[in-house]
């Protein structure tokens, strides 16, 4: 038994090794960070001073502020943690080339503009995405639901609007989805109702479990307002029609058949 476990362990180790060495991440990962550095506004100069690319030593990017590699001696980004650096501008570019990245944290900066609609193509393998405490606006892209490895998605304290995509219902592996303090509206997808209400707080238009029920639709109101009026008119009309019809039909059955003026009342009664 232990021999077999050892074999499996060895096999996994071999797989990991072959996987990492066959990724050829280095050049792409360096390109990824260069493009990010160029595309974000960095008023405090933190990335400018820390991300110096003229050192070709394998693993040199692993010393950069916010960069964590899979292995310290290999230029392959595992996580990018750029929180609280005073960064501004749009969602960073170049992330496509950080092909081994699993964790992206851009929280507590001043990023603005939309979350890219093709985010699932740019960073398909993320397990954790934290964009909280920025100024991201527009809608939550439906494509986020194609990030099938995503466990943690934190979007709280932005200016996101629109509905939470119904496609979140296919997100069985999400263990955390925080969208509090945005401008979201509409019904919370049913698959997300197991999360605590605090994850959805501060969105005036959001409704449904775990928050309060959604308000009844306008249609109901219209019917309730109009019903009494219909009742008043039709009940008087129907009563008059019934009496008149009864008298006419009883005493003058031939009128009943031919008189057009009685037809509206007959229809009302029926």
Nearer to ligand NAG, 29 or 140 (CB): 29
**Among 26, 110, 146, 185, contact with ligand NAG (rule: CB under 6 A):** 110
28 binds ligand NAG (CB under 6 A): yes
CB 161 within 8 A of CB 138: yes
Please state whether beta strands 205-207 and 110-114 pair in parallel, antiparallel, or not at all (unpaired): unpaired
94 binds ligand NAG (CB under 6 A): yes
35 binds ligand NAG (CB under 6 A): yes
User: How far is the C-alpha of 91 from the C-alpha of 107, rounded, in Å?
Assistant: 12
37 binds ligand NAG (CB under 6 A): no
Question: Residues 154-193: x/- map of binding to ligand NAG (CB under 6 A)?
Answer: ----------------------------------------
Segment 209 to 248, residues that bind ligand NAG, using CB under 6 A: none
Neighbours of 181 (CB within 10 A): 18
- Piece of 93-101, 191-199, 235-243, 257-265 that binds ligand NAG (CB under 6 A): 93-101
Question: Which token pair is 232?
Answer: 């008043």
* CA distance readout (Å), 242 to 7, 112, 194, 268: 93, 70, 58, 9
Nearer to ligand NAG, 72 or 215 (CB): 72
Over its C-alpha atoms, the chain yields an Rg (Å, rounded) of 32
Report, in Å, the least distance between residue 231 CB and ligand NAG.
59
CB 191 within 8 A of CB 209: no
79 binds ligand NAG (CB under 6 A): no
**Among 46, 60, 152, 165, contact with ligand NAG (rule: CB under 6 A):** 60
81 binds ligand NAG (CB under 6 A): no
Extended strands (E) in the chain: 67-69, 77-81, 88-89, 103-105, 110-114, 128-130, 135-139, 152-154, 159-162, 176-178, 183-187, 205-207
Question: Which residues of the shown chain bind ligand NAG in the complex (CB under 6 A)?
Answer: 28, 31, 35, 55, 57, 60, 63, 86, 94, 96-97, 110
């Amino acid at each position: 038994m232990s021999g077999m476990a050892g074999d499996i362990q060895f096999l996994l180790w071999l797989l990991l090794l072959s996987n990492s060495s066959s990724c050829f991440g280095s050049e792409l990962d360096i390109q990824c960070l260069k493009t990010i550095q160029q595309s974000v506004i960095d008023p405090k100069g933190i990335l400018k001073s820390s991300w110096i690319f003229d050192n070709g030593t394998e693993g040199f990017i692993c010393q950069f502020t916010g960069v964590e590699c899979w292995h310290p001696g290999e230029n392959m980004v595992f996580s990018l943690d750029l929180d609280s650096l005073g960064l501004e501008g749009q969602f960073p570019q170049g992330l496509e080339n950080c092909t081994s990245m699993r964790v992206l944290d851009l929280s507590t900066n001043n990023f603005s503009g939309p979350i890219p609609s093709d985010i699932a193509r740019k960073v398909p393998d993320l397990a954790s995405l934290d964009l909280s405490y920025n100024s991201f606006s527009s809608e939550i892209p439906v494509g986020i639901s194609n990030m099938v490895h995503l466990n943690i998605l934190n979007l709280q304290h932005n200016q996101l609007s629109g509905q939470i995509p119904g496609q979140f219902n296919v997100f069985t592996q999400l263990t955390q989805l925080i969208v509090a303090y945005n401008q979201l509206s509409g019904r919370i997808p049913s698959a997300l109702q197991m999360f605590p209400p605090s994850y959805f707080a501060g969105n005036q238009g959001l409704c449904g479990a775990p928050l309060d029920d959604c308000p009844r639709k306008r249609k109901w109101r219209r019917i309730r307002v109009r019903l009494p009026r219909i009742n008043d008119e039709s009940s008087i009309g129907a009563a008059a029609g019934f009496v008149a019809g009864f008298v006419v039909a009883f005493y003058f059955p031939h009128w009943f058949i031919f008189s057009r003026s009685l037809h509206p009342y007959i229809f009302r009664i029926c």
